[in-house]
């Protein structure tokens, strides 16, 4: 019995601590989630950047897992998302500025430049960041290619016209996504209806201006980036199809690292642990390159 108690005690000590911070960007408050454990093993912090409609909350599984594995893990909610300021519509350049503020804060707190993981729209933010910050590494996860939203939009119009009509209506009306739209867009595996409803309740609407800025892309980044790059995706992704991920990888002249059997929302799928393990593996490679 004593051995069991000791084991339980050690297990509790390994549970990472998560705190919610707020930092300032142009007088707006940004939510920055921070997770670490007393068994911290890696000196390089990792920052996660989310995609459209969601916030830092989508990274909770990853934050806890990375903290448990000894990482100093952070996740940012861009303006208008999560628990960050929501007083107006914001665009891509605002999100890049938010990420720069978060990176500067992390450097101030840790003394280390982070390695950054950008998912979906967060990957486009990351591509622009690579022009202004000498990051330890950049991992583009299920991301918009440097050519911008246009090739992705045309591809989806050809492959899934009905879904794209619903998306166009969503953008035009400035509505939030529904639980069903999230289920179809993010998940390849079965998702609990209660969870999908919770995710939809936490989602936000996006500014029409954001879509125009995303269409511009970040064409200069493949030539002028200031850090090593890796590209990951999933062949079951309904929002960023595999050939778009291959376009991104080709642009940066790196191979694609595929995550099997998961959808676009790899960090929220039932088997998110699989994605987290593969992301950590790729981050190790980036830091040792």
Question: In sequence order, which residues have a C-beta less than 8 Å from that of residue 158 and are 6 or more positions away?
Answer: none
Pick the CATH number of 12-287 from 3.40.50.720, 3.40.50.1820, 3.40.50.80, 2.40.170.20: 3.40.50.1820
**How far is it, in rounded angstroms, from Cα 113 to Cα 106?**
7
Could you give the angle at the alpha carbon of 157 between the alpha carbons of 153 and 162, nearest 5°?
Answer: 130
**How far is it, in rounded angstroms, from Cα 33 to Cα 205?**
21
For the whole prediction, is pTM greater than 0.85? yes
Name the pairing type of β-strands 229-233 and 46-49.
unpaired
**How far is it, in rounded angstroms, from Cα 41 to Cα 287?**
14
Number of H helices, E strands in the chain: 12, 8
> pLDDT by residue for the chain (289 residues), tens digit each?
334 344 343 344 456 788 999 998 878 899 999 998 767 677 899 999 999 999 999 999 999 999 999 999 999 999 999 889 877 678 899 999 999 999 999 999 999 999 999 999 999 999 999 998 999 999 999 999 999 887 665 455 445 544 544 555 455 445 567 777 777 777 888 888 899 899 889 988 888 788 788 888 888 898 888 899 999 999 999 889 898 999 999 999 999 999 999 999 999 999 999 999 999 999 999 999 8
Residue written as tokens 């916030």?
55
């Amino acid at each position: 019995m004593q051995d069991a108690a000791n084991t339980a005690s050690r297990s509790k000590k390994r549970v990472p601590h998560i705190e919610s911070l707020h930092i300032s960007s142009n007088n707006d408050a940004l939510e920055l989630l921070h997770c670490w454990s007393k068994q911290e093993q890696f000196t390089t912090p990792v920052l996660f950047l989310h995609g459209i409609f969601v916030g830092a909350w989508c990274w909770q599984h990853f934050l806890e897992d990375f903290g448990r594995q000894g990482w100093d893990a952070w996740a940012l909610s861009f303006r208008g998302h999560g628990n960050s300021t929501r007083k107006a519509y914001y665009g891509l350049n605002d999100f890049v500025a938010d990420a720069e503020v978060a990176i500067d804060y992390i450097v101030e707190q840790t003394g280390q430049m982070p390695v950054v993981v950008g998912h979906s729209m967060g990957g486009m933010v990351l591509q622009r960041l690579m022009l202004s910050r000498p990051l330890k590494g950049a991992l583009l996860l299920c991301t918009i290619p440097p050519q911008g939203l246009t090739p992705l939009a045309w591809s989806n119009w050809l492959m899934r016209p009905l879904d794209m009509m619903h998306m166009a209506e969503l953008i035009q009306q400035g509505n939030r996504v529904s639980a069903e739209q999230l289920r179809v867009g993010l998940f390849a595996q079965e998702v609990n209806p209660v969870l999908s409803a919770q995710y939809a309740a936490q989602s936000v609407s996006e500014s029409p201006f954001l879509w125009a800025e995303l269409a511009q892309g970040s064409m200069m980044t493949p030539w002028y980036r200031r850090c090593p790059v890796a590209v990951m995706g999933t062949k079951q992704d309904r929002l960023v199809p595999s050939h778009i991920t291959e376009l991104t990888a080709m642009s940066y002249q790196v191979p694609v690292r595929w995550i099997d059997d998961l959808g676009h929302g790899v960090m929220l799928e039932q088997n998110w642990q699989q994605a987290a393990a593969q992301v950590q593996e790729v981050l190790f490679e980036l830091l040792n390159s």
